[in-house]
Amino acid sequence: MRLPLFSILFCAILSAASNAVAAEDSRIAELFAQAGVEGTLIIEAVTSGERMVHNQGRATQPFIAASTFKVLNTLIAVENGVIADPEAPIPWDGTEYAIPAWNQDQTLRSAFQVSCVWCYQQLARRIGTQTYRDIIQQIGYGQLHVPFAVDTFWLDGALTISAAGQVAFLKQLVTRRLPFQPSTYDALEAVMRSSEAPGARLYAKTGWSTRRTPGVGWYIGYLQRPDETWVFALNLDTRDAQDLPLRQQLVLEALHAKGLLPATQTPADVIPP
């Protein structure tokens, strides 16, 4: 017997609602509640597709990419020959910045690790708007609003992306399906590695935007294990710089809680933004 169209639609809605509820991870929700912050976190297995989500609604909401764009920006810079390798020098112009680690010559590795804004702005001016526009559109990274300023677009709101969008990008990165050469991926891995423990290697990047109130903090990356690679993307509301350690803390606590990360694993200190 054929069901009325209304019944079919109603069943579909119930099924979708059930799936959405199942996608919400109660243990991760507890961690956010204990920290007293609003945010979202997606953890997803690259091969099996197993996914854990906190705050499904926010997971699809776009925010300013901020320094998480340094992951793709590094690939673009290396692929286009703007910087040769992770140890290639990036000369400091002598400008004094509020973050002491920025006030010296850098390499791609150090610039990524201390999230040096002026370093990547220097590279961006050499890359050019057309290259950025072509690659970002080609791979479907977030939403790029044109026209944009070549050396601030990932900071000023011209480029936004959701946690779900970050996860989709990271899965392509891990499986090397993006339009870059193997040597380009290798260069990124060399600068993105955050920490390592027996049976687990963590690659990650922070981000922080204060263009809105509250601010938005990011922590994205992937965890390599012998059996599987897990990608993750977190964003959360930040009141001030005191909230920034929560970015890494919540991800690591979630990975520990899910049995994906050894208890001895700790991240390297990364200076925001």
Q: What is the pLDDT of residue 20?
A: 39
Looking at 18, 26, 67, 162, which residue is catalytic?
Answer: 67
Q: Is residue 18 part of a domain?
A: no
16 assigned to some structural domain: no
What tokens appear for 14 in the block? 């119930």
- Split into its structural domains, the chain has a count of 1
Question: Residue 128 sits in a domain of what CATH number?
Answer: 3.40.710.10
Q: Along the 273 residues of the chain, how does pLDDT read in single tens digits?
A: 344 443 333 344 333 433 433 368 999 999 999 999 999 999 999 999 999 999 999 999 999 999 999 999 999 999 999 998 889 899 998 999 999 999 999 999 999 999 999 999 999 999 999 999 999 999 999 999 999 999 999 999 999 999 999 999 999 999 999 999 999 999 999 999 998 888 899 999 999 999 999 999 999 999 999 999 999 999 999 999 999 999 999 999 999 999 998 765 554 444 445
The pair of three-digit structure tokens given for residue 62, joined into one six-digit string: 């776009």
17 in a structural domain: no
Which pLDDT score is estimated for 198?
82
**According to the model, what pLDDT value does residue 97 have?**
96
Per the structure, the complete domain to which residue 64 belongs is given by: 24-257
Tell whether 272 is covered by a domain: no
Strands (E) across the chain are located at 39-45, 51-54, 63-64, 89-90, 106-107, 143-144, 159-161, 193-197, 200-209, 215-224, 229-238
11 part of a folded domain? no
Question: How confident is the model at residue 273, as a pLDDT?
Answer: 58
Known catalytic membership, residue 67: yes
In a domain, 13, yes or no: no
Residue among 71, 60, 19, 38 nearest 222 (CA):
71
* Whole-number Å distance between alpha carbons of 136 and 114: 24
User: Rounded CA gap, 261 and 245, in Å?
Assistant: 18
Helix H or strand E segment including 171: helix 163-174
Quote the pLDDT of residue 268: 45
CA–CA separation, 221 and 194 (whole Å): 9
Question: Is residue 230 in a domain?
Answer: yes
- Strand, helix or coil at 273? coil
> Residue 261: left (phi > 0), alpha (psi -120 to 50), or beta?
beta
Asked whether residue 262 is assigned to any structural domain, the reply reads no
Query: For the chain, how many residues are written?
Result: 273
CA–CA distance, 87 with 105 (Å, rounded to integer): 11
